[in-house]
Amino acid sequence: MKQAEQQYLDHVMEQLQVAKQAAEKKIQTAKRDIKSIDAQFNDIRMNTTTYSGMMDTALSVRAQQQMLNERENSWQHAADHLATLQRLEAKPYFARIDFEERPGQAEETIYIGLASFTDTPDHFLIYDWRAPISSIYYEGELGPVSYQTPDGEQSVNVTLKRQFQIADGVIVTLYDTQATVTDQMLLAALSNHSSTKMKSIVATIQKAQNRIIRNTSADLLFVQGAAGSGKTAAVLQRVAWLLYRYRGNLTAAQVIMFSPNQLFNDYIDQVLPELGEHNMVQMTYFQYLNRRVPRLQVADLRERFEQENDVIEARANQLLTSLAFFKATGRYAKRLGTDGHLKFRPLKFGDRLFASKDKLKEIYYGFSSTYRLSNRLDGTTERLIRMLNSRLGNEMHAKWVEERVQSLSKEEMDTLLKNRPREFASDEAEYQFFAKQILRKEMAPLKRAIDHHRWLNINAQYIHLLRVVPHLVDLSKWHLTPAQWQTYVERQLAAFKAGKISAAGVSIYLYLYDLLTGKRGDSEMRFVFVDEVQDYDAYQLAYLKFCFPQAKFTLLGDLNQAIFTHENSRSLLKQLSTMFEPDKTQVVQLTKSYRSTAQITDFTAQILLDGEKIEAFDRQGPKPQVVVTADSARGVQAVQTALAQAQAAGEKVAIIGKSLADSEAITTALKAAGVKATLVRTENQRLVDGALVVPSYLAKGLEFDAVIVWDANATKYAGDDERQLLYTICSRAMHTLTLVAVGQPTALLDRVAPELYEIHPVD
Ligand SMILES: Nc1ncnc2c1ncn2[C@@H]1O[C@H](COP(=O)(O)OP(=O)(O)OP(=O)(O)O)[C@@H](O)[C@H]1O
């Protein structure tokens, strides 16, 4: 059997060589053609003496340009093809499926790999893993299996499923399987060491993951998945799949992924190129907002994580981040069209008033009450531009203009004239020309201010919105009194004056701005992915939906890992369900955790009180270790020991501290002991090789062979609301997990069954 398979592989490898040579030849030809077209370009004689000569020259230039474009396209095409062939050469395929379309019919055999490959047209030696038929590899077991095609559902009878590991054109192992994907292959994939870059999982995609990857029917696909269940992995394959499925109609620029932090972006940025696709647009939600408010300082990741809210702030935050308040913002903005409460900023021309607040108000509210906000805005802009033009006319003979025209030097005149003929019909015409140029230049800032709607005082409007909240919502529902609300607004105002805005505030600010200016969002974006969605609030998600009105949403999250929003996360799901059509909403659960050994998954699952369901994948490893030390010095020693052990086993280690201060402290202590570890201070750093120290909020979404938790004592992790955080930290570990506690270990471990871990007191 192996021999026959090797023969097929040899044939594929041979054909790949042939195809590679052909592609290389195409590239050479295209290069040569481009060179010769370039040379011909130089030979085209410019005939500009007669009209027909000019036409001829223009036509030849155009023809040459077209030829050049064609050749460049064919070069690009051949180069892409060659890159695919090279990828296939390294790993031609990973599976074979035999099936019959109808019982009794002749069997067909297909091989599945990273891309399709044919030796003659329509004769596929390899099928792309994203082709509809390839789905049967991921979907079912032997026997009848159905799969989706663009034309509807198809069924086949699968008679053989074989998996391969191939290296350098030789079959290393091969196994036939009964189950969806053999555990051996998955086990081998999962037993590998972690790296600073995530890898693709095409060969071992699991059935539930395949459903997520190939979903086309949902407008909102919500994936609830335990830590390490492959949400991120699946979703990156989904992007690759979508780009294949809708090729020609969808580009990577029409797909955007919101990720938890910049570090994570860096971690996943190789997956799509590995699959031969361009990366989608990737940013964090706050990066997306910050670009639009560069002058405001938005609370950063650390501030958001470490901020200690008092009761008023916490309740106000719940109010402002709710879907109810998103709707209230809409109502407020709509009423601004007629209620006279819009705030204006006077427009100036130099240091002279151009339009006062009252004038602006008069214009804005002068339109019919049926006008929408965007019409009102356009109407006002138009009126202001007309005012600007008539002002320009009036100023033509102003004294200062006359003086400026008279004092123009020869060079200044030349610059203003550019290529214009030097002759004027009269002196007055000449004066008019220069006066107009001077005025236009002087009025340019005013024109910009009009066009960019700087006459809208959005800052004052935002504060006004906050002030009138008691009229918009029922404060008592949020357990706030009007006096408390007042206190909250004053605090926000003080911060705002210092150029700062809260994390909740910035979404409100921008949404309000968009409503007033009639912005409709980016309708080009077709797919929006939000990872770690449990850390978003309903307002943010509603705003994203507003920003991308035509897009389908895939939201991935783990309600167990809500480290910013805490108890809010379950209500988030409820609020979400009202934002999208129920029959276009699908919720998928991934319960099996692939990242960690069974010992680590079972241990971490019990840290949670009544968490979402988690099932361990059967991969064995040592039990988690809890090391309890009497003082900090011994704690540091314990970290050193665990670190040394893991590194001796070739493992990638992360020491995870709760806050940045904790992480700094352990880094300094290790350095003093002569141990090298890199502190990841901000999300803008890169993940480097060697031991890392990472504050908890930056460890989101990442994984490491070994995790050392510093320090898991009763003071650091005191209350129940820290369970999700501890769970998130511990679930970063793939192979070994050590918790070091200085003093009393955290009570959050009390409910974990004692047989699930080993405890080592160190005196
Ligand atoms: N089908 C699979 N085949 C091989 N590896 C897989 C598979 N599914 C998941 N993994 C691996 O399991 C690990 C965890 O996956 P991933 O990071 O996508 O999980 P997640 O659900 O996003 O986790 P978290 O919520 O904890 O960040 C990764 O190393 C990933 O490559």
- Which residue's CA lies nearest to atom 9 of ligand 1? 230
Ligand 1: which atom is nearest the Cα of residue 198? 31
- Report the range out of 242-246, 302-306, 582-586 with the highest average pLDDT: 242-246
Annotated binding site for ATP: 225-232
Q: Which of 544, 733, 734 is nearest to 656 (CA)?
A: 733
- Which residue's CA lies nearest to atom 27 of ligand 1? 701
1: part of which helix (H) or strand (E)?
none
In degrees and rounded to multiples of 5, residue 745 shows phi and psi of -70, 160
Ligand 1: does its nearest atom lie under 6 Å from the Cβ of 722?
no
- Which residue's CA lies nearest to atom 15 of ligand 1? 230
- Residue 300 above 90 pLDDT? no
Q: pLDDT at position 406, please?
A: 86
CA-CA distances (angstroms) from residue 93 to 89, 138, 149, 161, 281? 9, 14, 22, 13, 29
Ligand 1: does its nearest atom lie under 6 Å from the Cβ of 558?
yes
- Residue 438 above 80 pLDDT? yes
User: For 69-98, how does the pLDDT look when each residue is reduced to its tens digit (9 = 90+)?
Assistant: 887 887 888 888 898 999 899 889 999 999
- Residue 511 above 80 pLDDT? yes
Spacing, Cα 232 to ligand 1 middle (Å)? 6
Q: pLDDT category, 611, cuts 50, 70, 90?
A: low
Q: In this structure, are strands 281-283 and 297-298 parallel, antiparallel, or unpaired?
A: unpaired
- Residue 179 above 60 pLDDT? no
Ligand 1: which atom is nearest the Cα of residue 189? 4
CA-CA distances (angstroms) from residue 137 to 4, 276, 327? 21, 21, 46
Q: Out of 591, 595, 612, 613, give the residue to mutate to test ligand 1, the one with the largest number of ligand atoms within 8 Å of its CB.
A: 595
- ipTM value of the model? 0.97
Ligand 1: does its nearest atom lie under 6 Å from the Cβ of 731?
yes
Q: Out of 258, 703, 725, 728, give the residue to mutate to test ligand 1, the one with the largest number of ligand atoms within 8 Å of its CB.
A: 703
Distance CA 167, CA 26 (A): 28
Place of tokens 């040592």: 622
- Which segments of 408-531 are extended strands (E)? 500-501, 527-530
Q: Which of 678, 736, 675 is nearest to 709 (CA)?
A: 736
Spacing, Cα 229 to ligand 1 middle (Å)? 5
Q: Which of 246, 277, 581, 205 is nearest to 213 (CA)?
A: 205
- Which residue's CA lies nearest to atom 24 of ligand 1? 227
Ligand 1: does its nearest atom lie under 6 Å from the Cβ of 95?
no
Q: pLDDT category, 473, cuts 50, 70, 90?
A: very high
Q: Out of 138, 211, 231, give the residue to mutate to test ligand 1, the one with the largest number of ligand atoms within 8 Å of its CB.
A: 231
Q: pLDDT at position 519, please?
A: 82
Ligand 1: does its nearest atom lie under 6 Å from the Cβ of 206?
yes
Ligand 1: does its nearest atom lie under 6 Å from the Cβ of 677?
no
Q: pLDDT at position 181, please?
A: 55
Share of the chain above pLDDT 90, in %: 40
CB proximity list for 493: less than 8 A, separation 6 or greater:
463, 466
Listed range (55-59, 110-114, 657-661) with the worst mean pLDDT: 55-59
Distance CA 55, CA 41 (A): 16
Average per-residue pLDDT in the chain? 87
* Burial readout 16-32 (b: 16 or more C-beta within 10 A, e: otherwise): beebbeebeebbeebee
- Residue 551 above 80 pLDDT? yes
Q: Out of 180, 191, 196, 201, give the residue to mutate to test ligand 1, the one with the largest number of ligand atoms within 8 Å of its CB.
A: 201
- Residue 741 above 70 pLDDT? yes
One-letter amino acid at 571 equals S
In 468-532, where does DSSP find H-type helix?
A: 469-472, 482-497, 503-517
Listed range (38-52, 529-543, 588-602, 740-754) with the worst mean pLDDT: 38-52
> Alpha carbon 357 to chain centroid distance?
41
In total, the chain counts a number of residues equal to 763
Tell me yes or no: is domain 598-761 CATH 3.40.309.10: no
In degrees and rounded to multiples of 5, residue 297 shows phi and psi of -100, 115
Q: pLDDT at position 150, please?
A: 81
Ligand 1: which atom is nearest the Cα of residue 236? 18
Domain parsing of the chain, residue ranges = 1-90, 347-452, 598-761
Mean pLDDT of 144-167: 88
Cis (ω within 30 of 0) for the bond into 711? yes
Q: pLDDT category, 525, cuts 50, 70, 90?
A: very high
Distance CA 305, CA 659 (A): 8
Listed range (209-213, 248-252, 574-578) with the worst mean pLDDT: 574-578
Largest CA distance in the chain: 101
Distance CA 186, CA 500 (A): 49
**Looking at per-residue confidence, does 215 or 575 come out higher?**
215
Q: pLDDT category, 505, cuts 50, 70, 90?
A: very high
User: For 683-737, how does the pLDDT look when each residue is reduced to its tens digit (9 = 90+)?
Assistant: 877 778 889 999 998 888 888 999 999 989 999 998 887 888 999 999 999 999 9
- Which residue's CA lies nearest to atom 14 of ligand 1? 228
Distance CA 133, CA 96 (A): 12
Q: pLDDT category, 746, cuts 50, 70, 90?
A: very high
